[in-house]
């Protein structure tokens, strides 16, 4: 089952100038693709921060997605950061220069930075655009503009797919402190089922939402059965 990390690059998110749309999008899409997003990190346009985060994610996860910092301006340092993560040089990719020129971009010291990629970068073609997505090892380098990211991600989505995750949830009327012991016992009995417990205050006729998820339908069914036999539930506990 592929694991993934997303690295959202941009001061504008951390300073609240723009709300992050890319993190929530990747959470949702990777979920429906059945790929486990394990880490979502928002960092500033800082070379060292990018390099160290990308290196760490690349080692720990199957897929790494970066968003942002790939334009021509001074605050676009993602390509340089990825190069540093892998200890590689930046090299001018002539096919990117040609594509930029075809888009009417005049090559100058700044715009050429968009074509200066980490050595060994693969140009991944898709239906989305004649301009490819750059991939360096397992790091997929996406633009930060949400519409562009989404268009390009959708065109490549099957490359990132895993197995579907099945879920259920129960609405518990007791307090979390009252169910922690039996919940822990059942969680230990079903290691293939991820059981989460989330207290809620003033939301309705329940005090805790217990969620279950698994890629094993029979284990999920048995865990739900065990919890239903143990926890005090409100009447209509419905699936997600």
155, 173, 194, 226: which one contacts its own copies (CB under 8 A)? 194
Nearer to its own copies, 83 or 100 (CB): 100
Is the Cβ–Cβ distance between 23 and 6 less than 8 Å? yes
Query: DSSP of 183-239, one letter per residue?
Result: HHHHHHH-TTSEEEEEE-SSSSS-SEEEEEEES-HHHHHHHHHHHHTTS-B-S----
Rounded to whole angstroms, the Cα distance separating 100 from 111 reads: 9
Question: Does 108 help bind its own copies (rule: CB under 8 A)?
Answer: yes
Rounded to whole angstroms, the Cα distance separating 3 from 163 reads: 11
Only one of the segments 77-85, 91-99, 107-115, 217-225 lies at the binding site for its own copies (rule: CB under 8 A); that segment is 107-115
Only one of the segments 77-85, 120-128, 129-137, 197-205 lies at the binding site for its own copies (rule: CB under 8 A); that segment is 197-205
Least CB distance to its own copies at residue 178 (A): 8
Least CB distance to its own copies at residue 108 (A): 6
| Stated length of the chain | 240
Nearer to its own copies, 95 or 198 (CB): 198
Q: Label the pairing between strands 129-136 and 36-43.
A: unpaired
Only one of the segments 66-74, 87-95, 116-124, 215-223 lies at the binding site for its own copies (rule: CB under 8 A); that segment is 66-74
According to DSSP H, which parts of 71-118 are helical? 78-85, 94-102
169: its two tokens: 């949830």
Nearer to its own copies, 122 or 184 (CB): 184
Residues in the site for its own copies, rule: CB under 8 A? 10-20, 23-24, 27-28, 31, 37-45, 49, 71-76, 100, 105-106, 108-111, 144-145, 147-148, 165, 167, 169, 175-181, 183-184, 187-188, 194-202, 211, 213, 240
């Amino acid at each position: 089952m592929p694991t993934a990390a997303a690295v959202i690059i941009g001061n504008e998110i951390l300073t609240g100038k723009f709300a992050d749309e890319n993190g929530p999008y990747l959470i949702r899409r990777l979920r429906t693709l059945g790929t486990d997003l394990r880490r979502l990190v928002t960092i500033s346009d800082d070379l060292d921060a990018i390099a160290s985060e990308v290196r760490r994610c690349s080692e720990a996860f199957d897929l790494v997605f970066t968003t942002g910092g790939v334009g021509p301006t001074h605050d676009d340092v993602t390509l340089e950061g990825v190069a540093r993560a892998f200890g590689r040089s930046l090299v001018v990719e002539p096919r990117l220069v040609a594509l930029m020129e075809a888009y009417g971009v005049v090559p100058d010291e700044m715009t050429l930075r968009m074509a200066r990629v980490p050595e060994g970068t693969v140009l991944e073609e898709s239906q989305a655009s004649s301009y490819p997505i750059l991939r360096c090892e397992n790091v997929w380098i996406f633009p930060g503009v949400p519409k562009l990211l989404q268009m390009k991600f959708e065109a490549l989505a099957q490359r990132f797919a895993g197995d579907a995750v099945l879920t259920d949830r129960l609405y518990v009327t007791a307090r979390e402190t009252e169910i922690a012991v039996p919940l822990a016992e059942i969680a230990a009995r079903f290691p293939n089922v991820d059981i989460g417990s989330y207290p809620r205050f003033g939301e309705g006729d329940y005090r805790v939402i217990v969620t279950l998820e698994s890629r094993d339908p029979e284990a999920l069914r048995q865990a739900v059965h065990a919890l239903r036999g143990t926890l005090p539930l409100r009447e209509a506990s419905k699936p997600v």
